[in-house]
Amino acid sequence: MAAPPLLTLQDVALTFGGTPLITRADIAIAPGERTCLVGRNGSGKSTLMKIAAGLVDPDKGRRFVQPGTTIRYLAQEPDFTGFDTTLDFVEAGLPPGESTHRARYLLESLGLTGAEDPTKLSGGEGRRTALAQALAPEPDVLLLDEPTNHLDLPAIEWLEVELKGTRAALVLISHDRRFLSALSRATIWLDRGETRRIDQGFSSFEAWRDAFFEEEERDQHKLDRKIAAEEHWLRYGVTARRKRNVRRLGNLHELRQNRREVRRPVGSVSMQASDAESSGSLVVEARDIAKSYGERKIVDGLSLRVMRGDRLGIVGANGAGKSTLINLLMGRLAPDSGQVVLGTNLLPVVLDQARAVLEPGMTVTDVLTGGRGDSVVVNGQSRHVIGYLKDFLFTPEQARTPVSVLSGGERNRLLIARALAQPANLLVLDEPTNDLDLETLDLLQEMLGDYQGTLILVSHDRDFLDRVAGSVLVSEGAGRWVEYAGGYSDMLVQRGQGVEARTVAPKAKEPRERNAAPAAQPAGKPKLGFKDQHELKTLPARIEKLEAAIAQLKTILADPELYARDPARFDKASTMLAQAETELSQAEDRWLELEMLQAG
């Protein structure tokens, strides 16, 4: 006999601002179950997860948790108030009397030391700290909303192994197809306010969803034909029996009402990149280039040719130097030795992973038009900004919305819309898949497949790399980069292993004995001096200021009339931008160097 569900939601509904978000949702999570929750951005997945966690009360419906069941939820914005270190925060999630070994193991596996000040964490560090706290107690039910955000490839693959070994029932929200396919055994689909379930993992979901939409479309066609037949009867049928006519007229009104109420899928994104004149056949050539900061080698002896139409994926652990490598290839940073040759007639557009260009006070329209009118030029044609925004699933009401209120997915769609509106023959995309739903990822992939220019892509999304990249450039450590033909899976076959973490992490899974003592620290571990410790603490603030300065300078230079109006200001802003980007790259690499020294 099957065990009763640990967590149940029955006929749950919730309305926000007068608009129904969830109309009828049912969830039942059995012990040890592996379930993924999927749906479009804005469909209410995260809200439904919060209802399951008991953090949000539904307008109607019932939530039931078996007595004694422990549930942990991965918070999107953790509250670190009252904690001196990240280790303190994670240990607070452990049951009373539990060994702190697991907390330390999880933090180290996620690239943290446990000594970090929670008030000074970056967004990614805060996310990893929250993930460690959620995993620490090994609960009965684990609710994880986008757990792979801000994780690099080694950490994602480590997390897969960790979750496969846990006894907890899992409910996962993720845009990472490979991650969902590896872990899920059941799928709950939240579509237009209602949930549907199949007892198969995510790998079977998309075929099932497409079949459902096809059946729904057939039903709509049948309803359309029935309405047409009734209208024909009213116009030309026998009119002798008035009561019968009245009844059929009522039936027709009911059919029309049903047709109007047919719930259609949310609109789809329409993506098309603005083409520019073709570049030369050679886009970028690196000739035995090297770049180091102190004793830390970022690039060592790299020779690489990127030709017109190539799709180059760049992968590596956080801190491998991917941003520095891109700056070298784009000519923004000079190598210590070797030479970088840029092709002719290059028009590059860079999608900023940090979203620094999106100033909180700007409106959605301002981001696309630079505050000049209501039109945006796409592929040489002027389009009204609202029409262009509809292509990316924004409503007319959102055109004047401040950027600060947009969700992560909406911000990323807006950045993609902005990038694709600019004429380019070279696209440099840094983590473009962050916060996008699966359907939008499909459309982005199709757009990149049709794109006539050259693509350089930095991503931790293994499935997306497989679908888009023609070759993959991988960090092998110590500044060595090797190019492999094909996507990520092809690289695995050729290389024999995945991407390794930048620092050495525990390779064996944590022992299950809770009272096991932590391993002794090796003797002679290098320690940072006072000056280096101070620099390590102050670098994140400096990096943040540089990012803000770069965003402001890019906004100034985005004005197409600036050069004609004020050439001196244009030249000054260009010089300051190049200097700030160089300083940012140096500051990031110095921070990584100090982190490595501190980790020993």
Q: Is 449 left (phi over 0), alpha (psi -120 to 50) or beta?
A: alpha
The answer to whether the CB of 589 falls within 8 A of the CB of 294 is: no
Q: How many CA atoms lie within 13 A of 407 on its CB side?
A: 16
Query: Which DSSP string corresponds to 359-396?
Result: -TTSBHHHHHHTTS-SEEEETTEEEEHHHHHHTTT--G
The answer to whether the CB of 431 falls within 8 A of the CB of 458 is: yes
Strand, coil or helix: 481: strand
Instruction: Look at residues 413, 115, 476 and name the one whose alpha carbon lies nearest to residue 270.
Output: 413
Strand, coil or helix: 448: helix
- The binding site comprises 39-46, 316-323
Strand, coil or helix: 144: strand
The answer to whether the CB of 375 falls within 8 A of the CB of 369 is: yes
Distance CA 170, CA 175 (A): 16
Strand, coil or helix: 15: strand
The letter for the amino acid at 261 is: E
The answer to whether the CB of 242 falls within 8 A of the CB of 417 is: no
Contacts of 98 (CB under 8 A, 6+ apart): 137, 514
Q: What share of the chain is helix, strand, coil (3-state, %, to 5)?
A: 40, 20, 35
The answer to whether the CB of 296 falls within 8 A of the CB of 477 is: no
Cα 244 to chain centroid distance, Å, stands at 58
| N-to-C CA span, the chain | 53
Distance CA 544, CA 59 (A): 41
CB-neighbour burial class of residue 519 (10 A; exposed 0-12, middle 13-18, buried 19+): exposed
Distance CA 458, CA 429 (A): 6
Helical H runs in 165-309? 177-183, 205-236, 242-261
The answer to whether the CB of 425 falls within 8 A of the CB of 279 is: yes
Instruction: Look at residues 507, 517, 581 and name the one whose alpha carbon lies nearest to residue 549.
Output: 581
Contacts of 78 (CB under 8 A, 6+ apart): 89, 126, 129, 130, 133
Cα 44 to chain centroid distance, Å, stands at 17
Instruction: Look at residues 477, 481, 550 and name the one whose alpha carbon lies nearest to residue 335.
Output: 481
Instruction: Look at residues 180, 187, 83, 89 and name the one whose alpha carbon lies nearest to residue 134.
Output: 89
- The binding site for ATP comprises 39-46, 316-323
The answer to whether the CB of 334 falls within 8 A of the CB of 289 is: no
